[in-house]
Amino acid sequence: MKKIVLALIALSSVFAHSTSAQPDNRTTSQEAIKSVITNYEQAWNRHDAKALAEQYHTDATWVNWFGAYYKGRAEIEKHYQTTHTTYFKSTQFTTRSIEDITFLKPDMALVHVRTDLSGDERYPGQTFRFRRTILLTNKEGSWRIVAGQNAKLNEGIN
């Protein structure tokens, strides 16, 4: 009987520890995801194509606001290199808000981010608002974008 009581105490202790650890893991994951978003913004504003691409997993996909599709980090980096040495070379990218972070699994999160972009040479004097939908996964201890799409918001869309 004494062994059963000790086993139940040990089991309840393990259970209490594992349930209390979950919010900490989620908080740590949320902070890591926010860091990816911050790193992306900072790399954009430095016009650093390599640092932008490093926010993506090597097998990531990306769809830009015109609907162009890029597959793999190397292709994504090439796209950023091209755009940031031409019409995006003077742009400023601002994260307005992280609308939500939804964990689909402990190592997978769907995130909606509101952003502004100004300084696009094709559209002088205009600031565009976007909603980015990004799927991030944690592989080998590192959160990165695995897929995403950017949607330009029309006037009056919140």
- Of the pLDDT bands very low, low, confident and very high (cuts 50, 70, 90), residue 135 is very high
- Of the pLDDT bands very low, low, confident and very high (cuts 50, 70, 90), residue 13 is very low
23 pLDDT higher than 80: no
Comparing 4-8, 68-72, 82-86, the range with the smallest average pLDDT is 4-8
- Say what the pLDDT of residue 158 is: 81
Question: Is residue 97 within 8 Å of 114, Cβ to Cβ?
Answer: yes
Report the C-alpha gap between 106 and 94 in whole angstroms: 28
130 pLDDT higher than 50: yes
16 pLDDT higher than 80: no
Q: 49 in helix, strand or coil?
A: helix
Domains of the chain as residue ranges with CATH: 26-152 (3.10.450.50)
Report the C-alpha gap between 109 and 105 in whole angstroms: 7
Arithmetic mean of pLDDT, 35-59? 98
- Say what the pLDDT of residue 53 is: 98
Q: 52 in helix, strand or coil?
A: helix
Question: Is residue 87 within 8 Å of 66, Cβ to Cβ?
Answer: no
